Amino acid sequence: MDLKLKIWRQKNSSDQGQIVDYDIKGVSPDMSFLEMLDVLNTELIEKGDDPVAFDHDCREGICGMCSLQINGKPHGPDAAITTCQLHMRKFNDGDTIYIEPFRSRAFPVVKDLVVDRSAFDRIQHAGGYISVNTSGNTQDANAIPVNKDNADHAFDAATCIGCGACVAACKNASAMLFVSAKVSQYALLPQGQVERKKRAEQMVAQMDAEGFGACTNTGACSAECPKEISLTNIARLNREFLNSKFN
Amino acid sequence: MSWFSSTFSSSIGRKFAMALSALFLVFFLLMHLTTNMLSVFSANAFNEASHFMGTNPVVQFLLQPVLIAAVVFHFVMGFILEAKNKAARPVKYAKKDTGNATWISQNMIYSGLVILAFLVLHFIDFWVPEMNYKYIEQLPAVTDRYYGELVHKFQNPVRVVAYVIAFVLLSLHLLHGFQSSLQSSGINNKFTPGIKKFTEIYAIAIPLGFVLIAIYHFINH
Ligand code: HEM
Ligand code: SF4
Ligand code: FES
């Protein structure tokens, strides 16, 4: 199939950037979206042009590295997948496709479609961990009884791959879904109790310092999340934070 | 940073304060509707209730200032959140697909602005004349004047139409806002689907009540 691509091109973080039109012909419906971009880049390189920079790593839907706002939606039109798992059969011959970077003050554009998501790493460093002594006498985690419901919810929260689609989808570029998943996975497990208050407090403080917006509870994030992280986690984050302040 | 500022200048703390002020207003609407409802059933009962509210010191010097503070806090915080949230995405998307998120949940500021415009009108209509009557001109207390004043206001079709529009927007504001304020306060559990139904019924029934009363007086007099 033949497609018209409207791709955000930006030389570097200080460049203004603009949408550039590309025509691409003979795209196979079995290609992944990233493979389609690979084909475009091969053509650009052959012509001596600068290829389009975009993020990717595993191409298996597990690392969270691929991004892209495709026709206004993070990871494109399909539900519960990452861009590397999106296939061209979701599009029709002759379609125009907008391809833009994830937009947020906290995710500055590095080049073209590549954004710097290290704000998420800094939020993790602020409290998204448990402190254990790995001296060789560490208690076997499987020996600690955990309520089945809590284990399931913690596991669901832990499936977040830190891709940033929630931020890209939110009208406020809020990172609440991501932070709520990271806080929830520990709040529900015995190992997370010791640093529970500090964790919620510090991760929220870092989230705000990075310049993400507040949550208006529109639900756009959860709908676009490749791991379908639920909004109940955001309520839990609110509880954890308020508890750390008022208890 | 002090405890207070690290709590209430945080995004979650701000939304919690927003939710508390909103829940207070949501509750106030029920009180207000109950008083107004009296005007449909009995002019006397309405006059008595209005006179009580207008002269009782607890209502006048405690509840009324708290209410005004809650309204002002709510819309000022609404503007602050809106500005901060806009600033979190300085470069807009060329193409945006808002997916499943409802229009109203993404545009609370616009429904809020219509309600604010209505509140200004409402103040000029009822509150300013009351303050003038009681505290500036200090006219003698007439206990049965309220019903007549109310009915007179609703003879003007322009005012009735403005009321209807404002309450439609209030209903939309609450359809998203009421359940949102619970989520902002950290409440989301197995009862939430049921509670959500309740908030939706409330968000439609309460504004509808105000509208029906206005139309009733317009038609009946
Ligand atoms: C009787 C009047 C009003 C009632 C009962 C009311 C109720 C509510 C409720 C329940 C919420 C949800 C709070 C939350 O999500 O935590 C809300 C949010 C909001 N209200 Fe109001 N409201 C009223 C008037 C106004 C006015 C006059 C404005 C002025 C602009 C306004 C602007 C907003 C905004 C912007 C939000 C969304 C905040 C956010 O989630 O980011 N509201 N309101
Ligand atoms: S919550 Fe979902 S959308 Fe957000 S970073 Fe995690 S996996 Fe990605
Ligand atoms: S490249 Fe790893 S999830 Fe897409």
The pLDDT tens digits of the residues spanning B101-149 come to 999 999 999 999 999 999 999 999 888 888 888 888 888 888 889 999 9
Query: How distant, in Å, are the alpha carbons of A198, B8, B54, B57, B118 from that of B63?
Result: 38, 24, 11, 9, 21
pLDDT the model gives residue A161: 98
Position A205 pLDDT exceeds 90: yes
Q: Taking each helix axis as running N to C, give the angle between helix B11-41 and helix B157-184, from 0 to 180 degrees, rounded to the nearest 10.
A: 140
Please check whether residues A180 and A208 belong to one and the same domain: yes
ipTM: 0.95
Please check whether residues A161 and A223 belong to one and the same domain: yes
Ligand 3 pocket, A62 CB below 6 A? yes
> Which residue among B6, B12, B90 places its CB closest to the CB of A238?
B12
Report d(CA A156, CA B99) in Å as an integer: 23
Please check whether residues A21 and A106 belong to one and the same domain: yes
Please check whether residues A128 and A87 belong to one and the same domain: no
pLDDT in tens, A34-68: 999 999 999 999 999 999 999 999 999 999 999 99
Burial class (CB within 10 angstroms; exposed 0-12, middle 13-18, buried 19+) of B106: middle
Please check whether residues A93 and A130 belong to one and the same domain: no
> Which residue among B85, B179, B186 places its CB closest to the CB of A239?
B186
Q: Which of A74, A95, A111 is the last residue of a domain?
A: A111
Q: Taking CB atoms and an 8 Å cut-off, how many pairs form between chains A and B?
A: 137
Please check whether residues A16 and A36 belong to one and the same domain: yes
Report d(CA B39, CA B221) in Å as an integer: 13
Report d(CA B72, CA B119) in Å as an integer: 11
Please check whether residues A18 and A51 belong to one and the same domain: yes
The 8 Å CB, 24+ separation contacts for A146-151 are A146/A189, A146/A190, A150/A188, A150/A189, A151/A188, A151/A189
> Which residue among B84, B100, B179 places its CB closest to the CB of A214?
B84
Cβ atoms < 10 Å from Cβ of B126? 14
Question: Which helix (H) or strand (E) is A5 found in, with range?
Answer: strand A3-9
Report d(CA A61, CA A74) in Å as an integer: 14
CATH of residue A95? 3.10.20.30
pTM, to two decimals = 0.95
Which DSSP letter does residue B99 get? T
Ligand 3 pocket, A61 CB below 6 A? yes
Residue of B nearest to A109 (CA): B91
pLDDT in tens, B66-87: 999 999 999 999 999 999 999 9
Please check whether residues A239 and A132 belong to one and the same domain: yes
pLDDT in tens, A90-120: 999 999 999 999 999 999 999 999 999 999 9
What's the token pair of residue A151? 């284990």
Please check whether residues A138 and A100 belong to one and the same domain: no
Q: Taking each helix axis as running N to C, give the angle between helix B11-41 and helix A196-209, from 0 to 180 degrees, rounded to the nearest 10.
A: 90
DSSP secondary structure string, A73-141? EET-SSSS--GGG-BGGGS-TT-EEEEE----TTS-EEETTEE--HHHHHHHHTT-S-----SS-PPPG
Count up the domains in chain A and report the number: 2
Q: Which of B31, B113, B173, B184 has the most ligand 1 atoms within 8 A of CB, as the residue to mutate?
A: B173
Chain B environment of A205 (Cβ under 8 Å): 6, 10
Q: How far is the CA of B4 from the centre of ligand 1 (A)?
A: 23
Domain B3-95+104-220, CATH 1.10.150 — does that match?
Answer: no
Residue of A nearest to B84 (CA): A213
A235, B99: Cβ pair inside 8 Å?
no
CB B47, CB B146: distance < 8 Å = yes
Range of the domain at A175: 118-246
pLDDT the model gives residue A135: 82
What mean pLDDT is predicted for residues B190-210? Answer: 98
What mean pLDDT is predicted for residues A219-244? Answer: 98
Report d(CA A9, CA A22) in Å as an integer: 11
Ligand 2 pocket, A163 CB below 6 A? yes
What's the token pair of residue B192? 């939430």
Identify which of B181, B177, B23, B159 has the alpha carbon closest to the alpha carbon of residue B112.
B177
Closest chain B C-alpha to A188 CA, distance in angstroms: 15
Please check whether residues A161 and A202 belong to one and the same domain: yes
Ligand 2 pocket, A84 CB below 6 A? no
Position B1 pLDDT exceeds 80: no
Q: Which of A88, A111, A134 is the last residue of a domain?
A: A111
pLDDT in tens, B4-21: 999 999 999 999 999 999
A213, B176: Cβ pair inside 8 Å?
no
3-state secondary structure of B8: helix
CB A26, CB A2: distance < 8 Å = yes
Closest chain A C-alpha to B154 CA, distance in angstroms: 36
Please check whether residues A20 and A53 belong to one and the same domain: yes
Identify which of A243, A227, A148 has the alpha carbon closest to the alpha carbon of residue A193.
A243
pLDDT the model gives residue B37: 96
Burial class (CB within 10 angstroms; exposed 0-12, middle 13-18, buried 19+) of B57: exposed
Q: Which of A111, A129, A148 is the last residue of a domain?
A: A111
Report d(CA A221, CA A233) in Å as an integer: 12
Please check whether residues A143 and A231 belong to one and the same domain: yes
B95, A72: Cβ pair inside 8 Å?
yes
Q: Where are the alpha helices (DSSP H) in A170-219?
A: 176-187, 196-209
Residues of B with CB under 8 A from a CB of A: 3, 6-7, 10-16, 81, 84-85, 87-102, 105-106, 108, 176, 179-180, 183-188
CATH of residue A199? 1.10.1060.10
Question: Which helix (H) or strand (E) is B91 found in, with range?
Answer: none
The residues, any chain, with a CB within 8 Å of residue B128's CB and separated by 6 or more, are none
Q: Which of A33, A57, A70, A102 has the most ligand 3 atoms within 8 A of CB, as the residue to mutate?
A: A57
pLDDT the model gives residue A137: 80
pLDDT the model gives residue B64: 94
